[in-house]
Structure 1
Amino acid sequence: MFGAGAAPILVLSQNTKRDAGRKVQVENIGAGKAIADVIRTCLGPQAMLKMLMDPMGGIVMTNDGNAILREITVQHPAGKSMIEIARTQDEEVGDGTTSVIVLAGEMLGVAEQFLEQQMHPTIIIRAYRQALEDAVSILQERISVPVDTSDRKKMLDVIKACVGTKFIGRWSDLACSIALQAVETITLEENGRREVDIKRYAKVEKIPGGSIEESLVLRGVMVNKDVTHPKMRRYIKNPRIVLLDCGLEYKKGESQTSVEIMKETDFTRILQLEEEYVQKFCNDIISVKPDLIFTEKGISDLAQHYLLKAGISAIRRVRKTDNNRIARACGATIVNRTDELKEDDVGTKAGLFEIKKFGDEYFSFITECEDPKACTILLRGPSKDILNEVERNLQDALHVARNILIEPKLVPGGGAVEMALSQALTEKAKSVQGVGQWPYQAVAQALEVIPRTLAQNCGANTIRTLTALRAKHATGGSTWGINGDTGELADMHTLGIWEPLSVKLQVYKTAVETAILLLRIDDIVSGSKKKDRDSEVKKTAEPTEESMKE
């Protein structure tokens, strides 16, 4: 009797587990789609802006997917992981944050029907993985075209395709030339490899006032500092520059130091020692005959006096990052102790040092450098909000330029590459064995979301446009896509809209991997409830005073 009754109970519990797992997966898919719907209107040249309010009451207006997702708060764990992929995309390649969210949402959306048909998530995942591998090889071998990085016009066209969808698109020629010039300036060739570190060596300085057309790339560095003494020189041709990472002040004792003064000459002696110490390190500096000193720490009044007498201008409390950029630009070495200063440490590659005033603030410029491997992008604009948005857009342009220099391969934009991939994967799906054929085909179907969203954002007839685009690709027009401004079909080759291959590869990898990750989750367990339950158990277990009396 026991054996006969046990089997159905076991089956029932397994079914309930499976149903619970499916419920969680459907919830995760819903959360992913919700995030994608927020971002969807931010794709393409006709993208809408989102106005975000932060807790402090400030506002941000942007159509940059990553910036929007950084500001919004999401409770659902699956939603949080969707936001994380936009950050990953931004850090890896700096562009395609909106595309990756829209695509990941669609990849999850097309999986829902298979879950409802009781298909096991593992089968879906396997098909997704296979489709991703095939997509990557098709992209690299059949769709991508190499680009000559020395062809400036082609490079500008590619950057323009990225910037065209942004707020800065109105000044796209200026923005593209700024991005390309900055990236070319900081490119370092070592052992046949190109190293382009935008974060460290291409600093964007925003100064409100003036018009956006006044923005430019400085062949050198600008810092928001003035000289420490009003009589120091503010304009020096071919300056000799010394960079320090130590304070030009009298060192006080580290711990609590107590000094006992017995007679009146002792205090004079203490002052004299301080003066001798300051004079010593000032003489160390003066011995290498610099015209200009930058230090990351402070400079005492006495040190300023000695330096002024020697005709040396000094700037104090410079940021570490700025000091590194100055070192790259003028060929100086940052020194930690003044007594170790040598002739080799002096930077002589700068052509001009001058101080200019913008608004109420003073800025130091080190420009006309021989071969600066660092630069400052000076942005001007009417207001802080506009400057912040221009900077966000410019960062994308800089990353695009960097990606092409590192991997010089392009794919057509405007949804053409997605449509071509969709076509190729649909063909390949016919040779896939078993049930996995349907999820494999669903990946091809999901890729169409990019051209579909582009058409929607232009206000075009989506069904008609997509049908016409499919027909174009079926007859071999693999570079045909959607003109983001008009919503009509166009050949991306003639329009000159290209995207870096590395951005597209990252988009597909991240989107599919995230969809796989979320489909693998079959339960969400909260840690906080467990703690509460533990404390309740403890309370009931502990003997009370009354029970002790009893």
Structure 2
Amino acid sequence: MMGAQQPIIVLNQNVKREQGRKVQIDNINAGKRIAEVVRTCLGPRAMLKMLMDPMGGICLTNDGNAILREITVQHPAAKSLIEIARTQDEEVGDGTTSVIILAGETLAIAQPFLSQNLHPTVIIRAYRSALEDMINVLQDTIAITIDLNNEVQVREVIKACIGTKFMSQWSDLAVNIADAAVKTVYIKESGRKEIDIKRYAKVEKIPGGRIEDSYVLKGIMLNKDVTHQKMKRKIEKPRILLLDCSLEYKKGESMTNVEMMKEEDFTKMLQQEEEFVGKMCEEIASVKPDLVITEKGVSDLAQHFLVKAGITVIRRVKKSDNNRIARATGSTIVNRTDELREEDIGTKCGLFEVKKIGDEYFTFLSECEDPKACTIVLRGASRDILKEVERNLQDAMSVARNIYLNPKVVGGGGAVEMAVSHILTEKSKSMTGVEQWPYRAVVQALEVIPRTLAQNCGANVIRTLTTLRAKHAAGGLTWGINGESGDIVDMNELKIWEPLEVKLQVYKTAVETGILLLRIDDVVSGSKKKDKETGGGAPQASEQAME
């Protein structure tokens, strides 16, 4: 009796296929190369990268996510690593360089085990076990809870984040801005905490002036001017009306055909339009606003009626800006003028003013009562510098947000990595079986962070790490490396702290990415026939790590 027929997989001649150990080794090499790109960007002595985009724009940064976003890679494993930097940035806003370096090291330490023919699933099992223990040790043994009412402690944590960035020379200013912005948008009600810095803490960059001139505006700033020259440009305690409709004659939804038999018909149509716009303006004037802000257009006729009524108008404001104005001034966005009510008017703004800065006009809605939305006004020499300052501030605000949502910190300067590594290496000595070796290797891979810090500030790496291991063996959990000088210091004295949330995310993302890439044993890539003319077949994903 014949057995069941085996399914046959047919790959056409334009498909390249890589299998087994070669794929795993190539994935590891790709990970190591990506980690090497950002290795010099860790710590206060970090080097900057100059990135040039195809349009000729220049970006100067040491932010891991910003660097990797601009790099073009071919290898699928390298693309996965770039993706984790973006994930880290979106989730906690800091630690993008650390996560790439640690993920590269996590992959690199698997290479000796694979060459000894240890099965990837055994290595993965050890990795999972190590990750679980890392998280438990961080939360139960190493993390310290800080008092949110103690402003000095909170500011120390934010300052430690800024210390490795371009903004470090203006660290006090950056800490003040980040802390003030996060406190402004912080909402705590009925057990719910919300800090939405992405939506409600907008950064406005104005070239010119000095970085020291930057500040947090307790209100909203827009790059807009009033629509008519006779409208008021300064109003104290304005009544603000927000609209999501256009103040002009409404055209037909679909193609509208009108047949005009007489000359008067055209006049009638114009009269109808005028009456419609006039009625809208009367409905607006009936609620007595001083300032109308709309997301759509405002016709010349509507401007004429509103100037007569003494109402100032700003048009074509972005939806996101309108939402922030609504939150800061206490007004409600209205879609139809015939549904206006007194409670839709916002009265929490203290001052409306239009100012000219440089060549452009800016609208300021300031002195708001408990605004819950703010604008960070950045000044600086050039747009390139302002972009880097904005990136640094976003990281600082993310760190402040993490602290307010989960007030736990761990020692910086590689102290937490050495502490976790030492505790789990001691634990691994009581383990049996083949899994103990990859387990021990992955916990010792954490030492790549203090090692890189020592390298970047020119210290003697072997001597520094040996001394640091001795300190941790003697029970000093908070001893780490001073990134400025390369000396071994107690982080309690140096006051360098990192939020627990950032470290947890770094470890989870790095180890899980290592696990994911080690599970791949087959890469299949297809190409179009025309590729044969240019050199024969598909670009082999596992042979090209990066362009």
Q: Equivalents in 2 of 1:93, 1:403: separation in Å?
A: 7
What SS is found at the alignment partner of 1:115?
helix
Q: What's the counterpart of residue 306 of structure 1?
A: 305
Give the alignment of 1:407-418 within 5 angstroms.
407-418=406-417
Higher mean C-alpha deviation, range 375-384 or range 185-194: 185-194
What is the rounded CA distance, in whole Å, between the counterparts of 2:356 and 2:527 in structure 1? Answer: 55
SS in 1 for 2:355: strand
| 1:164-175 alignment runs, 5 A limit | 164-175=163-174
- Spell out, residue by residue over 1:403-428, the C-alpha distance to the aligned partner (whole angstroms, 9 max, x if none): 00111100000000000000011011
Aligned to 2:46: 47
SS at match of 2:516: helix
Q: Give me the identity figure in percent.
A: 73
| TM-aligned CA deviation for residue 189 of structure 1 | 1.1
SS of the equivalent of 2:485 reads: coil
Alignment partner of 1:77 is 2:76: yes
Question: Are the equivalent residues in 1 in contact too, given 2:295–2:318 (CA < 8 A)?
Answer: yes
CA distance in 1, matches of 2:525, 2:265: 69
1:367 — aligned with what? Answer: 366
1:412 alignment partner AA: G
1:525 alignment partner AA: V
1:470 is matched with which residue?
A: 469
Q: CA deviation at 1:489?
A: 0.5
Residue 102 (structure 2) aligns with = 103
CA distance in 1, matches of 2:368, 2:434: 64
- What secondary structure is seen at the aligned counterpart in 1 of 2:524? coil
Partner of residue 399, structure 2: 400
**Where does 1:258-273 land on structure 2 (aligned, <5 Å)?**
258-273=257-272
- 1:57-103 C-alpha deviation (Å, 9 max, x unpaired): 11111100000000000111110000000000000000000000000
Query: Where do residues 509-528 of structure 1 align in structure 2 (5 Å cutoff)?
Result: 509-528=508-527
Partner Cα separation in structure 2 for residue 331 and residue 448 of structure 1: 51
Does 1:257 find its partner at 2:231? no
Counterpart amino acid of residue 135 in structure 2: V
How far, CA to CA, are the matches of 2:186 and 2:316 in structure 1? 28
Tell me which structure has the larger Cα radius of gyration: 1
Match for residue 240 of structure 1?
A: 239
Question: How is 1:332-481 mapped onto 2 (pairs within 5 angstroms)?
Answer: 332-481=331-480
Distance (Å, rounded) in 2 between the aligned partners of 1:61 and 1:316: 35
2:329 & 2:65 partners in 1: Cα distance? 35
Q: Letter of the aligned partner of 1:511 in structure 2?
A: A
Write the distance in 2 (CA, Å) between the matches of 1:188 and 1:485. Answer: 37
Q: Secondary structure at the match of 2:110?
A: helix
Aligned to 1:297: 296
1:149 Cα shift?
1.3
Shift of 1:20: 4.0
The match for 1:482 is 481
2:235–2:353: 8 Å Cα contact kept in structure 1? yes
The separation in 2 between residues aligned to 1:32 and 1:235, in whole angstroms, is: 57
Do the aligned partners of residues 20 and 270 (structure 1) sit closer, same or farther apart at CA in structure 2, a change above 3 Å counting?
A: closer
Counterpart CA distance in 2 for 1:191 and 1:60 is: 44
Unaligned runs of 5+ in 2: 1-17, 533-547
- Which fold has the larger relative contact order, with Cα–Cα distance below 8 Å and residues 6 or more apart in sequence? 2
For each residue in 1:455-506, what CA deviation from the matched residue of structure 2 results, as whole angstroms up to 9, or x when unmatched? 0000000000000000000001110000010011011011110000000000
How far is 1:308 from its partner? 0.6
Q: Secondary structure at the match of 1:268?
A: helix
Q: Which residue number corresponds to residue 111 of structure 2?
A: 112
> What's the counterpart of residue 3 of structure 1?
none
Match of 1:15 in 2: none
**Cα displacement (A) at 1:531:** 11
Cα offset, 1:530, TM superposition? 9.6
Partner SS, residue 527 of structure 2: helix
Partner residue, 2:316: 317
How far does residue 252 in structure 1 lie from its aligned partner after superposition?
Answer: 1.2
What residue identity is the alignment partner of 1:342?
R
For 1:432 and 1:288, how far apart are their aligned partners in 2? 76
> Do the aligned partners of 2:144 and 2:409 also contact (CA within 8 Å) in 1?
yes
Alignment match, 2:537: none
Rounded to whole Å, the distance in 1 between the matches of 2:53 and 2:130 is: 40
Query: Structure 2: how far apart are the matches of 1:273 and 1:235?
Result: 34
AA in 1 matched with 2:241: V
Pair 1:126-2:125 in alignment? yes
TM-score by length of 1: 0.92
Contact 2:19–2:523 (CA under 8 A) maintained in structure 1 = no
Give the Å deviation of 1:193: 2.0
Kindly provide the CA deviation profile for residues 214-248 of structure 1, in whole angstroms up to 9, marking residues without a partner as x. 00000000000000000100000000000000000
Query: SS state of the match for residue 523, structure 2?
Result: coil
* 1:539 alignment counterpart: none
TM-score by length of 2: 0.93
Q: Quick one: which amino acid aligns to residue 151 of structure 2?
A: R
Partner of 2:30, secondary structure, is helix
Distance in 1 (alpha carbons) for counterparts of 2:357 and 2:251 = 37
Q: Which amino acid aligns with 1:499?
A: E
SS at match of 1:410: strand
CA distance in 2, matches of 1:433, 1:91: 39
Match of 2:540 in 1: none
Which protein is richer in helix relative to its size? 1
- The one-letter amino acid of 1:230's match is Q
Determine helix, strand or coil for the equivalent of 1:524: strand
Shift of 1:134: 0.4
Q: 1:186 — aligned with what?
A: 185
- Opposite residue 434 of structure 2, the aligned amino acid is V
Aligned length, in residue pairs = 515
**2:148 corresponds to 1:162:** no
Residues 157-204 of structure 1, C-alpha deviation per residue, up to 9 Å, x if partnerless?
Answer: 100100110001110000011000000000111321210011100000
Cα distance in structure 2, aligned partners of 1:412 and 1:529: 53
* Structure-2 residue corresponding to 1:5: none
Displacement, 1:267? 1.5
- Structure 1 residue 529: Cα displacement: 6.3
Tell me the secondary structure at the aligned position of residue 522 of structure 2. coil
Cα separation, 1, equivalents of 2:235 and 2:92: 40
Distance in 2 separating the partners of 1:53 and 1:263:
64
For residues 208 and 383 of structure 2, what CA distance do their matches in structure 1 show? 9
Contact 2:287/2:341 (<8 A) preserved: yes
Once residues 532 and 520 of structure 1 are traced to their aligned partners in structure 2, the CA distance between those partners, rounded to angstroms, is 30
Between the aligned partners of 1:99 and 1:465, the Cα distance in structure 2 is: 19
- For 2:172 and 2:276, the matched residues in 1 are separated by 55
- Partner letter of residue 92 of structure 1? E
Matched to 2:309, the amino acid is A
Distance in 2, Cα, partners of 1:465 & 1:208 = 43
Task: Work out the CA distance in 2 between the residues paired with 1:407 and 1:31.
Answer: 35
- Root mean square deviation of aligned Cα: 1.2
Q: CA deviation at 1:268?
A: 1.4
Q: CA deviation at 1:257?
A: 1.7
Counterpart of 1:143 in structure 2 is 142
How far apart are the structure 2 equivalents of 1:284 and 1:248?
11
Task: Give the Cα separation in 2 of the matches to 1:382 and 1:251.
Answer: 45
Cα deviation, 1:276-315, whole Å, max 9, x if unaligned, reads 1001110111011000010000000110011111111000
